[in-house]
Amino acid sequence: MSSGANRIDACLSVSRHSRRPGVWPFIPAGFPHRALTADLLCAAADGGASGIEVGFPFSDSIADGPVIQEAFAAALANGVRVSDVLAGVADARSQVAVPLVGMVSASIVYSIGVEAFMTRARESGLDGLIVPDLSLEEAPRCAASATANDLRLAMLVAPVSSEPRRRRIAAVASGFLYYVAVRGVTGARESLASDLAAQVENLRTFTSLPILVGFGVSTAAHVRAVCEVADGAIVGSAIVRRMLECTRRGGTSGAVQSVTRDAVATLLARVD
């Protein structure tokens, strides 16, 4: 991919002008088994995803709630490795036109080596990365390496982050800012934070980057509310829970794909 052709930039540029609800589902790679990753990415895209987060299984994730942790534990128990995740992305890339963003722990990036990981990520077909436990002090090095590989490095902004810190985060980020809508770990919530619009408005006062909102977003009504103020909604636990329930019932690979596709489509359903 040549510089300037990054799918994240292209997708979010369209989103900002269309103002249509956009869902960015989180798909745990390697769950329920290694061979299904590419098929599930395709299923999410078929369901109408604007972009897809690809979760790299990790045993000590700091922000994932019990639903995603369970899926990651199952993937790790099946022996899923980083190479399997990247292979799944590569297999899906020719079939999936939307952006693919890796959600990966800094420990994984550092264990492989920043430059080596970025190169492998680009070669697999990823368009960007989210490294939720990346320190702000280490972020510039990762950002530079990402840019050299035409990847985007999205950065998380928490509700409790001070404005000076938010400005520092925005300055190093590329692609988009990921606003964490609720305190705590990932997981479905009954309602969105009452200050969501004000928080997003604050971010827009000092950055031109698109803003995606995640954590707690779990229904079509949530997605539409988020997209009234932001550029897209990231949904993880609400989708992964349905995948888990399907596997517990003994669902086939085809059934898990159908559930994934339908879960994304449901989040884009009209809310009257």
pLDDT for res 186: 47
Contact 192, 200 (CB under 8 A): no
Write out the E strands in 43-197: 52-55, 100-103, 128-130, 152-157, 177-180
Question: 3-state class of 211 per DSSP?
Answer: strand
Contact 177, 158 (CB under 8 A): no
**Of the ranges 80-84, 126-130, 201-205, 213-217, which one carries the lowest mean pLDDT score?**
213-217
State the pairing for strand pair 100-103/52-55: parallel
- Residue 2 confidence (pLDDT) above 60: no
Nearest CA among 230, 224, 219, 7 for reference residue 100: 7
pLDDT for res 27: 98
∠ Cα 36 95 83 (to 5°): 45
Tokens 């199952």: give the residue. Answer: 74
Paired strand residues for 157? 179
Nearest CA among 139, 49, 131 for reference residue 95: 49
Nearest CA among 102, 94, 106 for reference residue 26: 102
User: How many whole angstroms separate alpha carbon 64 and alpha carbon 139?
Assistant: 21
Average pLDDT score over the chain: 92
Task: List all residues 6 or more positions away from 8 whose beta carbon is below 8 Å from its beta carbon.
Answer: 51, 99, 101, 127, 128, 152, 175, 176
pLDDT for res 188: 46
Write out the E strands in 1-73: 23-28, 52-55
- Residue 239 confidence (pLDDT) above 70: yes
Of 9, 39, 46, 53, which residue is the catalytic one?
53
| Most confident by average pLDDT, 113-122, 179-188, 213-222 | 113-122
Question: How much is the average pLDDT of 4-17?
Answer: 84
Cα–Cα separations (whole angstroms), residue 142 to 116, 122, 132, 151, 214: 11, 14, 12, 10, 22
Per-residue pLDDT of 86-107, as tens digits, reads 999 999 999 999 999 999 999 9
Domains of the chain, by residue range, sit at: 7-267
In the chain, the amino acid numbered 251 is G
CATH architecture of structural domain 7-267: Alpha-Beta Barrel (3.20)
**Of the ranges 52-66, 71-85, 109-123, which one carries the lowest mean pLDDT score?**
52-66
pLDDT for res 190: 58
User: How many whole angstroms separate alpha carbon 123 and alpha carbon 155?
Assistant: 22
Side-chain half-sphere of 143: how many Cα atoms within 13 Å? 18
User: How many whole angstroms separate alpha carbon 229 and alpha carbon 240?
Assistant: 25
Per-residue pLDDT of 128-166, as tens digits, reads 999 999 999 999 999 999 999 999 999 999 999 999 999
Q: Model pTM greater than 0.75?
A: yes
Examine the residue annotation and report whether 64 is marked as an active-site residue of this protein.
Answer: yes
Residue 183: pLDDT band by 50, 70, 90 thresholds? low
Residue 185: pLDDT band by 50, 70, 90 thresholds? very low
Of 64, 91, 127, 231, which residue is the catalytic one?
64
